Structure 1
Amino acid sequence: MANVANTMNVADAAGAPGATAGERAGADAAALAQPANVAIRNLTIRLGSNTVIENLDLDVLAGEFVVLLGPSGCGKSTLLHSIAGLIDVSDGSIEIAGEDMTWADPKDRRIALVFQSYALYPTMSVERNLSFALRINGTPKAEIARRVARASEMLQLGPLLKRKPAQLSGGQRQRVAIGRAIVREADVFLFDEPLSNLDAKLRTELRRELKQLHQRLGATMIYVTHDQVEAMTLATRMAVMRGGVIQQFGTPAEVYARPNNLFVATFLGSPAMNLLKGTLELRDGAVQFCTAHWRLDVSSYAFSEAPVQGQTCVLGVRAEDVHVAEAGSERAKVSLVEPMGNHRVIWLDYHGEQIASIDQTKAPLAEGDTVAFSLDAAHVSLFDEAGGARL
């Protein structure tokens, strides 16, 4: 990550002067931004000898809130920075609103970027931080005032306009950073882990405000995070990344309920999806998932290819689909109970396998108790054991 001074310069690069003041002012006043689609084709990015992203395709529709989700080092920030024009691509193309922007300067892409660091000018008031890019662009004063007033109202910054960044809380500073992006009225808004420096309460508050902001603006937003809660709550669609490759792209509900592979299955969810190794047995037209200790009928499962007798696989089931203290043929010992307020996570020791269950009952349970449990066969996932792909 660049130091703060460099980051501030880069953050304003999209608004740096590239034409005469009159041309810039006229264009700025005449054209209010429209949400734009982003189309990425066969994108490859190499940093030295390291290939960070290879042959990546991604389509972001106009007005969408797309979240790039993945662990550290998966390439999500690199992808975002390439859209912003801060990183040169090695191959492929980037289109914004149907226009090839692969080699365009950041200032010509009509994007606004919010960094992880607040990147505010410490000697300027909130009002001047918000208006800085517009002022150096030669935007008319009346237009600057309109945009600053609009952003201030959206983000509840009105009482803070005369303050310096040092007089603000962390959440207020991040609001100012977001506001500086809003005043540019860009076609595409890019967010690089903007909430990661905040405490849990502030993250929750700003996450809600970002969601509402997207609803009000109707703008195209691309957001990078490693936090699955942010991804699930903010995204209209999310791209789960690993090793520079998009593992799955879909709505949060789709990705959570039908993960494409074992990585996605275990990366999403808290606790992670339960995994059990076994084989498939075909008997009298029925398909059963079998382990050394039990069988589960999975005949209703939508297999992508016809199952094979004796096929080794992994069964995945979310913790909320493991039901404890109900009538069931299986019994296990409670190894741990984790109270979570409105629910609890019960860990079951089943023949050496640890199975998590999310339980919302108030039935008394203690470590060492033996309980009955069952799985909701309608909500299981089956994966190839060797490659990890969904069956």
Structure 2
Amino acid sequence: MTNMANTIDAAGVPGASADANSDADLDTAALTHPANVAIRNLTIRLGANTVIENLDLDVLAGEFVVLLGPSGCGKSTLLHSIAGLIDVSDGSIEIAGEDMTWADPKDRRIALVFQSYALYPTMSVERNLSFALRINGTPKAEIARRVGRASEMLQLGPLLKRKPSQLSGGQRQRVAIGRAIVREADVFLFDEPLSNLDAKLRTELRRELKQLHQRLGATMIYVTHDQVEAMTLATRMAVMRGGVIQQFGTPAEVYARPNNLFVATFLGSPAMNLLKGTLETRDGARFFCTAQVRLDVSAYPFKEAPSHGAPCVLGVRAEDVHITESASEHAKVSLMEPMGNHRVIWLDYHGEQIASIDQTKAPFSEGDTVAFSFDAAHVSLFDEASGARL
């Protein structure tokens, strides 16, 4: 295991005079040196447990990649291995084309933002920002330049003389992010940095993080279990389960065309509606059929032509379940959840609960019978046995 003293260096950051750069233009290009990250055949064992096995991941320079998954899926372990806080059992980690598999954290040119802010309580914001630069012997003028620009970017100027106890949770997290920025790192790593904040602050800082990435153009790898954070922040996202990347792609791709049932149900609120049935071929057309449903899926882009009668699962997002008087299917409204600009309508459909996102504000109530239809152009079909996308 690597020396934890080096961990502080890798996560720490600068500080100095706030006034030195107050009148200077913010040169964000000088604050980051985006690098690609290439992970090959990575295996991590903790004791007798294999947490990650033979994992490959390519992060392009300047990307914002989010590692998304439930607790225990290996996402934080993967992030910590990139940071050098966890020794790997096999495989390699390259940063900017250089093998960093066994490099100390301080030599990896990374900056890490923790879930807990990890600020020094007796130091001012300015001293927290400058700490790592000071202990590394960075010249005072350079410290002032970096701290001045980072504090301007994060609107920390008025707070530089305060102690962490005098800051709100959002301000503390800004300081933690500022400590990372001043390192002028190749790769920024975020370990669930917004988890300790309330809903309003999470929304605000999420927006600020996205804007920060746009301004810096930095390579960022971000761990979260929150699908909203992943969908809004990522240029690409890796959905993980059991130490395996289930799907890696843009948020739009992963949401619209999930690779398997796990991805389909993990993303989306409410989760994707699922119906079990069979695929039947009649007169050259293909249909998804249950005892109640017969949906034409002839235009569906199957990877391989399924056999007649093959058992499968139909998945359809709530926004693709349309409540309309002209529809052929009927169900009883079992529950309505007002969401402000829309309602989630839960339909009791032959014992199955089907969610529909409704923006019409039509005057119906719980217990009413309504007509609805599935949008066949936006359904997903999965093999019932393996859960893989057909």
**Smaller-chain TM-score range?**
over 0.9
Q: Deviations over 1:66-93 (max 9, x none)?
A: 0000000000000000000000000000
Shift of residue 313, structure 1, vs aligned partner: 0.1
Shift of residue 20, structure 1, vs aligned partner: 24
CA distance in 2, matches of 1:55, 1:180: 33
8 Å contact from structure 1 (residues 71, 226) kept in 2:
yes
TM-score, normalised to structure 1, is 0.93
- Shift of the 267–352 alpha-carbon distance from structure 1 to 2, 3 Å rule, reads same
Aligned to 1:298: 297
- After TM superposition, the structure 1 stretch with the greater mean CA deviation from structure 2, 33-42 or 14-23, is 14-23
- Shift of the 119–377 alpha-carbon distance from structure 1 to 2, 3 Å rule, reads same
Q: Deviations over 1:267-322 (max 9, x none)?
A: 00000000000001100000000000120000000000012100000000000000
8 Å contact from structure 1 (residues 15, 107) kept in 2:
no
Shift of residue 23, structure 1, vs aligned partner: 24
* Cα root mean square deviation, aligned: 4.3
Shift of residue 328, structure 1, vs aligned partner: 1.1
Shift of residue 13, structure 1, vs aligned partner: 4.0
- After TM superposition, the structure 1 stretch with the greater mean CA deviation from structure 2, 321-330 or 54-63, is 321-330
8 Å contact from structure 1 (residues 65, 235) kept in 2:
yes
Q: Which 5+ residue runs of structure 2 have no aligned equivalent?
A: none
CA distance in 1, matches of 2:21, 2:199: 41
Shift of residue 16, structure 1, vs aligned partner: 10
- Shift of the 366–33 alpha-carbon distance from structure 1 to 2, 3 Å rule, reads closer
8 Å contact from structure 2 (residues 15, 147) kept in 1:
no
- Shift of the 165–208 alpha-carbon distance from structure 1 to 2, 3 Å rule, reads same
Shift of residue 214, structure 1, vs aligned partner: 0.2
- Shift of the 18–83 alpha-carbon distance from structure 1 to 2, 3 Å rule, reads farther
8 Å contact from structure 1 (residues 70, 240) kept in 2:
yes
- Shift of the 26–158 alpha-carbon distance from structure 1 to 2, 3 Å rule, reads closer
8 Å contact from structure 1 (residues 25, 139) kept in 2:
no
Shift of residue 33, structure 1, vs aligned partner: 4.2
Question: What does 1:119-138 correspond to in 2, within 5 Å?
Answer: 119-138=118-137
- Shift of the 3–92 alpha-carbon distance from structure 1 to 2, 3 Å rule, reads closer
Q: Secondary structure at the match of 1:22?
A: coil
8 Å contact from structure 2 (residues 2, 104) kept in 1:
no
- Shift of the 55–21 alpha-carbon distance from structure 1 to 2, 3 Å rule, reads farther
- Shift of the 163–4 alpha-carbon distance from structure 1 to 2, 3 Å rule, reads farther
8 Å contact from structure 2 (residues 313, 382) kept in 1:
yes
Shift of residue 325, structure 1, vs aligned partner: 2.6
8 Å contact from structure 2 (residues 17, 144) kept in 1:
no
Aligned length: 387
Shift of residue 179, structure 1, vs aligned partner: 0.3
Shift of residue 359, structure 1, vs aligned partner: 0.4
8 Å contact from structure 1 (residues 130, 148) kept in 2:
yes
Q: Deviations over 1:43-87 (max 9, x none)?
A: 000000000000000000000000000000000000000000000
- Shift of the 283–192 alpha-carbon distance from structure 1 to 2, 3 Å rule, reads same
CA distance in 1, matches of 2:23, 2:170: 34
Q: Secondary structure at the match of 2:71?
A: coil
8 Å contact from structure 2 (residues 14, 131) kept in 1:
no
Shift of residue 329, structure 1, vs aligned partner: 1.0
- Shift of the 144–119 alpha-carbon distance from structure 1 to 2, 3 Å rule, reads same
TM-score, normalised to structure 2, is 0.94
Q: Secondary structure at the match of 2:93?
A: strand
- Shift of the 182–162 alpha-carbon distance from structure 1 to 2, 3 Å rule, reads same
Shift of residue 326, structure 1, vs aligned partner: 3.6
CA distance in 2, matches of 1:344, 1:257: 21
8 Å contact from structure 2 (residues 43, 89) kept in 1:
yes
8 Å contact from structure 1 (residues 41, 93) kept in 2:
yes
8 Å contact from structure 2 (residues 31, 216) kept in 1:
no
Aligned to 1:357: 356
CA distance in 2, matches of 1:192, 1:119: 12
CA distance in 1, matches of 2:30, 2:226: 35
Q: Which runs of 4+ in 1 moved over 3 A?
A: 1-7, 13-33
Shift of residue 362, structure 1, vs aligned partner: 1.3
8 Å contact from structure 1 (residues 24, 138) kept in 2:
no
Shift of residue 341, structure 1, vs aligned partner: 0.5
Aligned to 1:2: 2
CA distance in 2, matches of 1:127, 1:109: 25
Q: Secondary structure at the match of 1:24?
A: coil
CA distance in 1, matches of 2:57, 2:19: 37
CA distance in 2, matches of 1:352, 1:90: 49
Matched, 1:26 2:5: no
- Shift of the 19–110 alpha-carbon distance from structure 1 to 2, 3 Å rule, reads farther
8 Å contact from structure 1 (residues 25, 140) kept in 2:
no
8 Å contact from structure 1 (residues 14, 108) kept in 2:
no
- Shift of the 285–3 alpha-carbon distance from structure 1 to 2, 3 Å rule, reads same
Shift of residue 365, structure 1, vs aligned partner: 1.6
CA distance in 2, matches of 1:125, 1:18: 9
Shift of residue 21, structure 1, vs aligned partner: 23
- Shift of the 146–180 alpha-carbon distance from structure 1 to 2, 3 Å rule, reads same
- Shift of the 214–19 alpha-carbon distance from structure 1 to 2, 3 Å rule, reads closer
Aligned to 1:333: 332
Shift of residue 152, structure 1, vs aligned partner: 0.5
Q: Which 5+ residue runs of structure 1 have no aligned equivalent?
A: none
- Shift of the 232–17 alpha-carbon distance from structure 1 to 2, 3 Å rule, reads closer
CA distance in 2, matches of 1:208, 1:388: 34
Q: Deviations over 1:334-388 (max 9, x none)?
A: 0000000010000000100100000011111211100000010000000000000
